[in-house]
Amino acid sequence: MPIKHVIERLLHSTRQSTPGQAEFYQAVEEVLVSLEPLLASEPKYLHNNVLERLVIPERQIIFRVVWMDDSGKIQTNIGYRVQFNSAIGPYKGGLRFHPSVNLGIVKFLGFEQIFKNSLTGLAIGGAKGGSNFDPKGKSEGEIMRFCQAFMSELAKYVGETKDIPAGDIGVGGREIGYMYGEYKRLTGRFDGVLTGKGLNWGGSLARTEATGYGSVYFAENILNKQGDSLKGKICTVSGAGNVALYTIQKLYEMGATPVTCSDSKGMLYDKDGIDFNTLKTIKEIKRQELSEYLKHYPNARYIPVDAYEKGTNGVWSIPCFAAFPSATQNELNLRDIQTLHHNGCRLVNEGANMPSTPEAIAYMLANRILYGPAKAANAGGVATSQLEMSQNASMQKWSFSEVDTKLHAIMKSIFDLAYATSKEFNEEGNLMLGANIAGFRKVADSMIDQGAV
Ligand code: NDP
């Protein structure tokens, strides 16, 4: 049967057997379609049913999370952990707390994580988890009780050599702390079961910064290959959380000027450049609204979501040389990329997971816009999580610059691998194809080595 038909049949059966998981199908389709040239040259992957196995998680755990709010009322949420693939190492991937979380979202993130982790060159399998809990507007006590309730169930399924969760949207150092405390209380163990830990209790220097820094290192690699760099360039960034913040900081260090950021309520445009320290204080320390920024920089513009042109993300209307989507999935659509292109944008580098729609990606590839796909571009976070695990296991503590140097080298090696693989399959520079094939090959070969499991 022609390979196209094999893929179509698998996509169809995936939709039939797991209805209502749009983001998951989107992630699966992107990967499977880009594997076509590899499957054509290496029939062993079809003979061993690797694809059929790959799209089914090894295990998915769904649980009730019950906690008490400040008024004494019992609240209920749904918790998830999808342990997708452990062919190359223990499960690893973040936890997301956001009202939009459902099984399809967790599966898309877990599926992406398999290939991302493989690309890092480290021994980590793919997983993801989270809850539909909304941390916004909750008191400190409520956040703590929720995290404890969540971990009281999750603790049964994780372990330092089994499954090692980390943060993602809505889960930062504070939440990891509360979950770690509960894990310790339940198990009596002080081990590296979570990453993103506090620096006093097993965390790694540079883990907080790693995804944003790594994303900028990756972009610089793409540009260097073209004989260009970020120096002196105007950049746009979406999001105002962990990834966006440290993308902004590193862009300045590379000599670029990041002029935007955003959250779910609106966006900021400061043509002189977003002030990193002010943004960090507002979003990371005081957890305030983005519009607070205007009190410090009255010449900046704050545009609320309602004022965006319908169906577009306001950030991408600002002219730039490079765009760094760093908020959430499907935040950059066809109209956004057409606007960016029209305004002279040369590079889209994905800090968030799956931020570009399939139509936007197709447009980038057709119009030779440089494209850093999420699996590769934002892999610095999980790679540094693995460096945290290494430090925990060997009871060492490395300096910031030691970790940052390793991160820099890992991002370069991911770029080199994705680039070389794109060349091998006669699609030089198509890093999406290169990253998907390179990530897949290592996992698939390991699955074949390990037999029918
Ligand atoms: P944070 O929770 O720190 O920040 C998320 C940011 O995105 C916030 O500004 C948030 O705004 C905004 N946002 C979230 N959901 C939406 C939405 N539906 N519409 C508009 N804006 C939204 O998360 P991170 O920075 O950690 O994660 C951002 C992205 O990066 C995600 O895709 C995540 O999966 C990915 N990622 C994160 C890694 C990490 O190490 N943290 C590693 C690799 C990828 P608001 O505060 O108003 O909700």
Q: Is 266 in the pocket of ligand 1 (CB under 6 A)?
A: no
Q: Which of residues 377, 405, 422 is at a domain's end? A: 377
Co-location of 40 and 64 in the same domain: no
- Confidence at residue 250, expressed as pLDDT on a 0 to 100 scale: 98
- Among 174, 216, 263, say which to mutate for ligand 1: greatest number of ligand atoms within 8 Å of CB: 263
- Nearest-CA residue for atom 28 of ligand 1: 327
Q: Whose CA is nearest to atom 36 of ligand 1?
A: 352
Task: Based on the fold, state whether residues 284 and 372 are members of the same structural domain.
Answer: yes
- Same domain membership, residue 80 and residue 178: yes
Judge if 245 and 340 occupy the same domain.
yes
Question: Would the CB of 377 count as within 6 Å of ligand 1?
Answer: no
Q: How far apart are CA 388 and CA 274, in angstroms?
A: 30
Q: Which atom of ligand 1 is nearest to the CA of 98?
A: 15
- Determine if ligand 1 sits within 6 Å of the CB of residue 211: yes
Whole-number Å distance, alpha carbon 72 to ligand 1 midpoint, is 30
SS3 per residue for the chain: CCHHHHHHHHHHHHHHHCCCCHHHHHHHHHHHHHCHHHHHHCCHHHHCCHHHHHCCCCEEEEEEEEEECCCCCEEEEEEEEEEEECCCCCEEEEEEECCCCCHHHHHHHHHHHHHHHHHCCCCCEEEEEEECCCCCCCCHHHHHHHHHHHHHHHCCCCECCCEEEECECCECHHHHHHHHHHHHHHHCCCCCCCCCCCHHHCCCCCHHHHHHHHHHHHHHHHHHHCCCCCCCCEEEECCCCHHHHHHHHHHHHCCCEECEEECCCEEEECCCCCCHHHHHHHHHHCCCCHHHHHHHCCCCEEEEHHHCCCCCCHHHHCCCCEEECCCCCCCECHHHHHHHHHCCCCEEECCCCCCECHHHHHHHHHCCCEEECHHHHCCHHHHHHHHHHHHHHHCCCCCHHHHHHHHHHHHHHHHHHHHHHHHHCCCCCCHHHHHHHHHHHHHHHHHHHCCCC
Number of separate domains in the chain: 3
**What number does the ligand 1 atom closest to the CA of 328 have?**
32
Residue 164 and residue 28 share a domain: no
Q: Of all protein residues, whose CA lies closest to atom 17 belonging to ligand 1?
A: 264
pLDDT of the residue at 164: 98
Domain assignment of residue 232, yes or no: yes
Residue 164 lies in a domain: yes
Domain boundary, last residue among 351, 377, 403:
377
Residue type (1 letter), 80: Y
Residue 243 beta carbon below 6 angstroms from any ligand 1 atom: yes
**Does the C-beta of 378 come closer than 6 Å to ligand 1?**
yes
**Domain check: are 127 and 225 in the same one?**
no
Which residue segment(s) compose the domain that 63 sits in?
57-190
Asked if residue 374 has its Cβ within 6 Å of ligand 1, the reply is: no
428 falls within a domain: no
pLDDT digits (tens, 9 = 90+) for 114-169: 999 999 999 999 999 999 999 999 999 999 999 999 999 999 999 999 999 999 99
Minimum-distance ligand 1 atom for the alpha carbon of 262 = 9
Looking at the domain assignment, is residue 453 inside a domain? no
Low pLDDT (below 50) residues in the chain: none
- Looking at the CA of residue 379, tell me the nearest atom of ligand 1: 43
Residue having the nearest C-alpha atom to atom 27 of ligand 1: 169
Residue 322 lies inside a defined structural domain of this protein: yes
- Regarding whether 149 and 76 lie in a shared domain, the answer is yes
Residue 167 in contact with ligand 1 by CB distance below 6 A: yes
Specify whether 233 is located in the same domain as 98: no
> How many whole angstroms from 312 Cα to the centroid of ligand 1?
18
Q: What is the CATH number of the domain that holds 329?
A: 3.40.50.720
Q: Kindly give the distance from the C-alpha atom of residue 40 to the centroid of ligand 1, in angstroms, as a whole number.
A: 37
Integer CA distances (angstroms), 90 to 128, 159, 163, 385, in order = 12, 9, 6, 13
Residue-wise pLDDT tens digits, 421-442: 999 999 999 999 999 999 999 9
Please, what's the b/e burial string for 278-314 (b: 16 or more CB within 10 A of its CB; e: otherwise)?
bbbebbbeeeeebbebeeebeebebbeeeebeeebbb
Instruction: Tell me if 241 CB under 6 Å of ligand 1.
Output: yes
Candidate of 133, 243, 315, 378 to mutate for ligand 1, largest count of ligand atoms within 8 Å of Cβ: 243
Give me the CATH number covering residue 172. Answer: 3.40.50.10860
- How close is the Cα of 236 to the center of ligand 1, in Å? 16
From 113, 176, 288, 328, the mutation candidate for ligand 1 (largest count of ligand atoms within 8 A of CB) is: 328
Domain membership of residue 197 (yes or no) is no
Note whether 218 and 361 are same-domain residues.
yes
Closest C-alpha to ligand 1, atom 2: 169
> Of all atoms in ligand 1, which is nearest to the CA of residue 170?
2
Q: Is the CB of 240 under 6 A from ligand 1?
A: yes
Looking at 316, 349, 377, the residue that finishes a domain is 377
- Nearest ligand 1 atom to the CA of 263 is 11
- Minimal-distance CA residue to ligand 1 atom 44: 352
One domain for residues 165 and 273: no
What is the Å distance from ligand 1's center to 311 Cα? 20
pLDDT tens profile 278-316: 999 999 888 899 999 999 999 999 999 999 999 999 999
Q: How far is the CA of 171 from the centre of ligand 1 (A)?
A: 9
Quick one: 164 and 73 in the same domain?
yes
8 and 89 share a domain?
no
The residues that are catalytic are: 128
327 lines ligand 1 (CB under 6 A): yes
Name which residue sits closest to atom 11 of ligand 1, judged by CA: 263
11 in any annotated domain: yes
Q: Which two tokens stand for residue 241?
A: 């959380």
Residue 307 domain flag = yes
Residue 368: CB atoms within 10 Å: 9
